[in-house]
Structure 1
Amino acid sequence: MGLLDILLGRTKPVAPDLDRLFALPSAAVTLEVAAGFTPTGTGAVCFATVEGGAFTEANREVQALLDADTDRTGPPVELRRDDYGYSWLVSRRSPDQLSSLVNDLHAVNSAMEVNGFGPQLLCSVAGFRDEGGRRLGLVYLYKRGTFYPFAPLPGPGERRDNALELQIKAALAGELRIEQDLGRWFPIWGAPGL
């Protein structure tokens, strides 16, 4: 980054740090104590869909890797496409297997990177619920290396609980690298597990 970049306000993009995903299990403990949310056991990696044989083969390899896990308690890994044209590779575990779920998310992201599809990676999400049925996703932005909470509200329409999201942001500030630019807290409507 040069002097001209600094003067024009350009910043160097943050490199993804997938190891930050491993902070989720300890953040989950804080999340349960501070707000009563526990893991659902569902997580997913979202990526821009790419057509072609190389991408299809990489996707097959990732699914085979995760499906080979004999400790999996839920259904096999599933590939879904949402209404916006993005693909989600969904992993389901027992709610008490958050560490294994995080390993799955890390493995998917790593395999996509290794196969040259890092630019297509958008985010990863782990699902949580409280006793009242409120839903929450902790979203990892691949290209920013940061997390943010996403709390969709029940009922018709696409609405979110901004107050809860800010509460979770404050509770997890010491646990996760939280995205400070609230404009980047993109809604992930229809995300699997939320």
Structure 2
Amino acid sequence: MGLLDILLGRTKPVAPDLDQLFALPSAAVTLQAAAGFTPTGNGAVCFATVEGAAFEQTHREVQALLDADAERAGPPVEMSQDGYGYSWLLSRRSPDQLPQLVNDLHAVNSSMEANGFGPQLLCSLAAFADDTGRMLALVYLYKRGTFYPFAPLPGTADRRDSALELQMKAALASDLRIEQDLSRWFPVWGAPGL
């Protein structure tokens, strides 16, 4: 960053730090203690839709990498598209395999980044639920290197529990790098596994 950037108020974008994903297991302990949320075993990576042979090759590499895991039951990755035109890669694990799920999310992000698809990456999420059926996702913003909680209200298509999100923001402040700009806490309606 040069002097002109400083004078004009430009800031350097935060570089993605995929290793931040490895903080999710410790955050899960805090979530359970603070509000009774436990992992569901579902996690997903969202990216702008990509077509072409290079992406197909990357998808096959991710599939082969995750297929090599003997502890996994079922398909390693399910691909879908939401109503907004974004693509999702969903990984399913048993609820007690959050560290392995985090490894899956990290591997998918790293593979896409290594193959030149980093600019298309939007976010990754891990899903949690409580005994009453409330859902909560911890969403990692790839381009910001930060997390935020997303809590859709049960039985609604497009309403969220903002009070719960703010409560979880305070509870997780020492476990995760939380996104401070609330305008960047975009809802992830239609996210698979949530």
What TM-score, normalized by structure 2, do the two folds share? 0.97
- 1:152 is matched by which residue type in structure 2? P
Structure 1: distance between partners of 2:51 and 2:4: 38
Shift of 1:6: 1.8
The reply on whether 1:140 has 2:146 as its aligned counterpart is no
- Is 1:189–2:173 an aligned residue pair? no
User: In 2, distance between residues paired with 1:75 and 1:37?
Assistant: 26
How big is the shift at 1:170?
Answer: 0.2
Unaligned runs of 5+ in 1: none
Cα deviation, 1:1-43, whole Å, max 9, x if unaligned, reads 1222222221100000000100000110011001110000000
164-173 vs 62-71, which deviates more?
A: 62-71
Counterpart of 1:192, as a letter, is: P
Percent identity of equivalent pairs? 81
Q: Secondary structure at the match of 1:183?
A: helix
Question: Aligned residue for 2:115?
Answer: 115
Query: Equivalences for 1:11-30 in 2 at 5 Å?
Result: 11-30=11-30
Q: Deviations over 1:127-165 (max 9, x none)?
A: 000011100000000010000000011223300000000
Equivalent AA in structure 2 for residue 132 of structure 1: T
Contact 1:74 1:94 (8 Å CA) reproduced:
no
Deviating more after overlay: 136-145 vs 80-89:
80-89
- What pairs with 1:1-194 in structure 2 (closer than 5 Å)? 1-194=1-194
Is the partner of 1:83 in helix, strand or coil? coil
Q: Give me the whole-angstrom Cα distance separating, in 1, the residues matched to 2:31 and 2:78.
A: 27
CA positional deviation for 1:68: 2.1
Corresponding letter in the other structure for 1:65: L
* Alignment RMSD (CA, Å): 1.0
Length-normalised TM-score, structure 1? 0.97
